[in-house]
């Protein structure tokens, strides 16, 4: 069987989010059940890919070395729960850069699909923001909204969302594996 993937946003889905950005390894704190959700997906033959906007780099709030420390912590804590994050794709740009990789544009998802030589039509992308849903739609992936992070606000401001909606990453993972 070929690899099956699940794409996951980072801030607000795997870890707590902040309107002031997650700027250090210390500020990177996993949401309850999120690392277990990744392990559950892995145990059911899914490889997890993180797709994340990290404009804090472009804003000068932290650098790529600090981002690497945050991601090392995320990987380490995920492994302790029996899971593995296959790869991390991130956009370091600010919105004003108008790049192709910043969600809601599909650049990071398309990069992933091109590198793995796969179609996205059967691949879920789990996020908490409208930008995540729009990026998934633009790339041809299957969006899922979670209510963690900015998810409640996203749902309140967009009550017409018709894609699957779950309380958290763990519930979304259970839906995917069933």
Active site residues: 9, 11
**C-alpha 86, offset from chain centre:** 12
Phi, psi of 85 (to 5 degrees): -100, 115
The Cα 104–Cα 59 span in angstroms is 18
Coil, strand or helix at 163: coil
Sign of CA dihedral 83, 7, 147, 166: negative
In whole angstroms, how far apart are CA 23 and each of 29, 66, 85, 99, 136? 11, 8, 20, 22, 26
Coil, strand or helix at 66: helix
- Asked if residue 154 lies in contact with residue 130, where contact means CB atoms within 8 angstroms, the answer is yes
Closest CA to 113 of 146, 84, 140, 150: 140
The Cα 133–Cα 145 span in angstroms is 7
């Amino acid at each position: 069987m070929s690899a099956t993937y699940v794409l996951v946003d980072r801030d607000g889905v795997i870890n707590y989010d902040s309107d002031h950005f997650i700027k250090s390894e210390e500020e990177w704190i996993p949401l309850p059940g999120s690392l277990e959700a990744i392990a559950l997906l892995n145990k059911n033959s899914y490889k997890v890919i993180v797709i994340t906007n990290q404009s804090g780099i472009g804003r000068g709030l932290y650098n790529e070395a600090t981002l690497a420390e945050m991601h090392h912590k995320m990987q380490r804590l995920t492994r302790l729960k029996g899971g593995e994050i296959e790869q991390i794709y991130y956009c370091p740009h600010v919105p004003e850069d108008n790049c192709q990789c910043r969600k809601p544009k599909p650049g990071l998802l398309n990069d992933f699909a091109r590198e793995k030589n796969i179609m996205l039509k059967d691949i879920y992308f789990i996020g908490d923001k409208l930008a995540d849903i729009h990026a998934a739609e633009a790339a041809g992936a299957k969006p899922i909204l979670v209510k963690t992070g900015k998810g409640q606000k996203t749902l309140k401001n967009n009550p017409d969302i018709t894609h699957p909606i779950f309380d958290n990453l763990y519930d979304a993972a259970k839906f995917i594996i069933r």
